[in-house]
Amino acid sequence: MAEAHAAVAFSFTVTPDGVDVNLNHEALHAVWESGVLSWKKRIGKLKNNFRNGVFPASPISWLFAVTLVLGLKLGGWDPSWGLIGMLHMHTPIINSYSFSVGQYLSTLLLGTLLWIVVINLIKYCLKLLLTYHGWMYEMHGKLSLKTKLWLLSIRMFGGRKPMLNSYQAALPKLPVPSLHDTMTRYLTSIQPLMEEEKYKRMEKLATEFESGLGKKLQRYLILKSWWATNYVSDWWEQYVYLAGRSPIMINSNYYGVDALLVKSTSHQASRAANLICMMLQYRREVDREELDPIVLNKTVPLCSAQYERQFNTTRIPGIETDTLVHHKDSNHIAVYHKGRYFKVYIRHKRRLLKPAEIETMLQRIIDDESAPAEGEEHLAALTAVERVPWAKARKQYFSKGKNRASLDAIEKAAFVVALDDEEQDYDPEDPTSLDRYGRSMLHGKGYDRWFDKSFTLVVTKNGRVGFNAEHSWADAPIMAELWEVVTEDDRSLLGYREDGRCNGTVETPPPNPIRLEWDFPKQCLDLIESSCLTARQLCEDVDLHIMMHTAYGKGFIKTCKVSPDAYIQIALQLAYYRSAGKFCLTYESSMTRLFREGRTETVRSCTNDTVAFVKAMEAKADNAELIRLMRQAAATHQNLYRDAMTGKGIDRHLFCLYVVSKYVGQDSPFLAEVLSEPWRLSTSQTPHQQTDKLDLNKYPDRICGGGGFGPVADDGYGVSYIIAGENTFFFHISCKKSCKTTDAHRFGQLITQSLADMRTMFENK
């Protein structure tokens, strides 16, 4: 389609007449521009690091501090009680100056030192303040005097106009829970799930562990918490994600879909261009730290560490463990269309390309009718299946030549864009339309998403969009925020012409897309095809159902004086009990970003109180009793969620104790059994309206459809839900077709019925 750029900036040949030097001015100019951009980024990074280092103070406060000390000194009063004179006498270089000059320099040095001390005191005070979490357990509108004073103090010490990473140094460390508390909470969590005899056995194992090996492992863990920034996150990333050898497609990666009730354009290239442009602008804001940090209740900051690897990041397969490789920058994206890969530059003449220019390049790819190279179409199936064969193939067949260069173009891209040749949409008359949409984003055809990439932007033939994201680099709220920003700015900021094309004009002809070249030997082609077959089998085993619930939403739930999340979790327990005739260990994801480098914790949603409500519901108890039990179950769930957010969860603690036991070479029957328990109901709430971009009061039809993930257990369900506005829920329900006891559509019907029964319960009180 297009020639590649020159590989070198100059060449020379030796002739009888001398040396003939041939300079490629275009390549030299590109090298110059790349260097200028690199230095600009370095300088910008240094400036940001300095601003973050002095936060919550501002750089201008240094001038105030120095001027104050100097003014007092010139006014005849020594604020240092003789320290300025000592600095003049004993500080190298300064002591070589005259008395007057030395006094000025010493005063300047003292003012700077005092400024640094005050900044660190303020930062330490802010960190101490952020360790208080009592506010989370208090009812809205009924704050204690202690919490009110705390809020006032936070606002005093919290600084103004923070950058993305300004609060990082002030965030507290995740505390290690006491061993006794974790054992107590664990036993409470399994009590409703076990018969008395089995529970007594687990109680004995827990007691023996707490009084024996557990004490030793706890000491090591506390030691790690003193040394490491976060005692969980590095091990969680390494052992839960990167060390896994099973396929990451379906099992680990997750997906998101479009805002389903509005449609911006039906032109594939136009929609893709706008979203690519907005994603690149978002990347620039992250790099420059111009993105506002997420702050709860306009007061409490969340950790921003996960944003760093959102772009220019790829998971590289290894024999024993994978690695995450993040590049500081990338000047291109990788595009997949009809079995062919292209390298598409996103900068030209020292600026990011505009939507109309990106649209032109993408349209060239769409209009190109060339056939894929042998093996190219199904190549990404290698990223979809087991990690070890892919790691061996990558080393054997992609270490040099065309394959190495082309693989680099994909792995070093800012992100991957898949231009699908099929249409997806939401059709209210066809309930299966959303199911097909979700399957397309979760796994596609098994070979048309680069599952190792931090994320793949998927644009369907009719302009619908979604994404598939790799999980190890960050958790879903980070992608959800990006998605919320770019899909909203796509409509409100960029928009489209009347004919559906991108606004703006092509100022200068953009670079041509570069077709990637491949040369696969027979053995590699065989591996690609066998991987494609395996990936297709994995895809065919997924039962995915996306359900839009519009009978009521959080608006009604709030009138019941119950947490919407707790309400839905209880409805899921009721639905599961009606489906299976029993209760199961339930996983709900909660974030721990109140702490530095925090990621997630588990809320064990199946509690004694929830079980009591479900059984009373099935026994058709009177409404007053049902509502009392319901509110008690919801309150218990809320407290568990708060405990998880504030570092008092149990599952990450148990996981880290297990890791330590492996390091010291001492196995624990208790830990082995705990960590082998299957999560037959794995749930997660997709965050909505994390930014002020989306105004659902003004544009209620712009609710996002959310996203989902595959089932965690072979005989269980994965359920993701999004509370979209006041009157709508979306549920993404997944399970395996090969399991005879699960059915995503039947479970969706049971959720609908449970929500209806719970509404009737409150309406008839």
Q: How far apart (Å, rounded) are the C-alpha atoms in residues 382 and 377? A: 11
Work out the angle at residue 764's Cα, subtended by the Cα atoms of residues 762 and 765, and round it to the nearest 5 degrees. Answer: 65
Q: How many angstroms separate the Cα of 619 from the Cα of each of 381, 388, 584, 596?
A: 50, 51, 19, 46
Strand-pair partners of 600: 591
Strand-pair partners of 731: 547, 721
At 251, give phi and psi (nearest 5°): -75, -25
To the query of whether residue 653 is one of the catalytic residues in this protein, the response is no
Q: How far apart (Å, rounded) are the C-alpha atoms in residues 92 and 402? A: 59
Active-site position among 88, 267, 378, 471: 471
Q: How far apart (Å, rounded) are the C-alpha atoms in residues 355 and 502? A: 6
Q: How many angstroms separate the Cα of 212 from the Cα of each of 206, 289, 310, 670?
A: 10, 48, 43, 11
Kind and range of the H or E run holding 720: strand 717-724
Q: What tokens appear for 444 in the block? A: 């596609």
Residue 610 CA, chain-centre distance (Å), reads 30
At 294, give phi and psi (nearest 5°): -75, 125
Is residue 658 within 8 Å of 667, Cβ to Cβ?
Answer: no
Residue 233 CA, chain-centre distance (Å), reads 13
Is residue 627 within 8 Å of 761, Cβ to Cβ?
Answer: yes
Residues in the chain: 765
Query: Which residues 6+ apart lie within 8 Å of 228 measured at CB?
Result: 234
57: closest CA among 124, 140, 130?
Answer: 124
Q: What tokens appear for 679 in the block? A: 């999560």
Kind and range of the H or E run holding 514: strand 514-515
At 499, give phi and psi (nearest 5°): -85, 5
355: closest CA among 269, 262, 462?
Answer: 269
Q: Exposure string (b/e) for 631-652, b if CB count within 10 Å is 16 or more?
A: bbbbebbbebbebbbbbbbbbb
Q: How far apart (Å, rounded) are the C-alpha atoms in residues 107 and 256? A: 58
Sign of CA dihedral 418, 423, 429, 435: negative
Q: Assess whether the previous peptide bond of 56 is cis (omega < 30° from 0).
A: yes
589: closest CA among 679, 657, 654?
Answer: 679
Q: What tokens appear for 660 in the block? A: 């330590």
Q: How far apart (Å, rounded) are the C-alpha atoms in residues 735 and 445? A: 18
Burial of residue 685 (number of CB atoms within 10 Å: 0-12, 13-18, 19+): buried
CB atoms within 10 A of CB 558: 13
Q: How far apart (Å, rounded) are the C-alpha atoms in residues 224 and 663? A: 13
Q: How far apart (Å, rounded) are the C-alpha atoms in residues 196 and 188? A: 13
Longest dimension (CA), the chain: 105
213: closest CA among 737, 706, 654?
Answer: 654
Q: What is residue 3's three-state secondary structure?
A: coil
Q: How far apart (Å, rounded) are the C-alpha atoms in residues 73 and 83? A: 12
| Strand ranges across the sheet with 717-724 | 542-549, 728-736, 717-724, 681-685, 586-591, 600-604
Q: What is residue 384's three-state secondary structure?
A: helix
Q: How far apart (Å, rounded) are the C-alpha atoms in residues 308 and 241? A: 18
Catalytic residues: 471
